[in-house]
Amino acid sequence: MLSFQNTFRISVPCRQSKSLRLLQISLTSPLLAAISVPGTRAYSGQPRNPIATHRDLPTTSANKREVLIQWDGTARSKFHHIWLRDHCRCPECFHSTTMQRLINTFEIPQDLEPMFTRPTREGLEVVWPASTGPHVSTYPWTWLWKNSYYPATSQELAEKILWGSKIANDPPSVPYDEVTSNEHGVHKWLSKIDKFGFCFVPGIPATPEATEDLANRIGFIRETHYGKFWDFTANMACGDTAYSNLALPAHTDNTYFTDPSGIQLFHLLEHTGGGGGATLLVDGFYAASLLQDLYPEAYRLLSTVPMSSHAAGESTILYRASRPPLEHDAVGNLRAVRWNNADRSVLREVSHADIPRLYEAMRAWEKLITSSDSEYWVQLTPRTALAIDNHRVLHGRSAFIGKRRMCGAYIGADEFQSRLAVLREQFGSSDDETLTGARERGVWSHDF
């Protein structure tokens, strides 16, 4: 973990879930005094994995509807018979090459009961009645524990380091030679993007070709109305203020898409005959954490009220999408920040009573993302590329004069997450080259 000057790390329970949110907070921040930090805990409802600490096998029993697993003296799980039969991954029920289900879920009787169950060293063994003879399923203990739904086992979330302006003291960076030398370098780069929301790549040749190759090391480039790979100046070639020399406030891109691009790669190729054009980065997850603690009603509104956005600067396009600025997953974890006030459309999907409160909420959000505690300003130079998570980190720039040539590309969030997941299978979850933890993909993978 990076150590930041004048910062410390705290764990704060998320109100929408039982997971923890990690904050990097400046000791000198005027906001610090207003943040209440209640007692924390790793999770509730499930103790730590007993499989790793107990040598004895779990005990099992079954009734007409489900199998009960008693992991130890305190922890237990329940699994419905139909769920277990549906998740059998023997060669007859699951294809070991394509990793696809072969069993016809809808031919399983709703009232199916096993003939018997027993614990084995390999896992829970269940013998099912079948017209062709008994069918034996064996479910590994660790797989069952990871996928327990009664009670639900807390899923291990990738660590996110939240940051403010003090990130300038030690921003995440991986040299170009390391990224391009082998897959471990790519893993280290993508892991830092996933953890911090951005990462620099110094030492890259100041050419579009090297930048495009760097983008392709993540995944295939996403083509939009701006083109596939961009190489542009402030010539208004596209109907967007990004193609001007105007200042751009902190924003995320593609708020007018139902699926905004995931990764944005920038590379300043040259800036001559003028100055300005400093790049602004703001951690949207950090700002959202502060908003939730300082202005909980504003957080609720920005998490639930859809706001429409549009791209209409060219006669050949009219993109529109409507989502809340703060998007959460099914269990309430903050998943993405979607914010571009310049592209915000008419507020018409809001009740009469919520209009004043919504403007207050937006004002509170704007106050946080424009705070000196949140803003990280950096002057980009040729031979340093910058990749940002467009679902988390807002970016902007100051106004400039002169010729400023930029190049870059979008990569989809799914492509980024897939690439990182495969690299983690090869190298483990840590970007520390001294650690190992690679695992071979099999039918009982915890990832699917």
pLDDT in tens, 399-429: 999 999 999 999 999 999 999 999 999 998 7
Reported as half-sphere exposure (CB side, CA atoms, 13 A), residue 209 has a value of 1
Segment 15-21 shows an average pLDDT of 35
**Calculated CA dihedral for residues 279, 283, 288, 294, nearest 10 degrees:** -80
Segment 237-257 shows an average pLDDT of 86
Residue 47 has pLDDT above 50, yes or no: no
Segment 6-17 shows an average pLDDT of 35
pLDDT at 429: 76
Task: Identify which of 419, 414, 409 has the alpha carbon closest to the alpha carbon of residue 211.
Answer: 409
pLDDT at 431: 65
Pairing of strands 76-80, 66-70: antiparallel
Segment 353-359 shows an average pLDDT of 96
Task: Identify which of 312, 287, 311 has the alpha carbon closest to the alpha carbon of residue 299.
Answer: 287
The amino acid present at 88, given as its one-letter code, is C
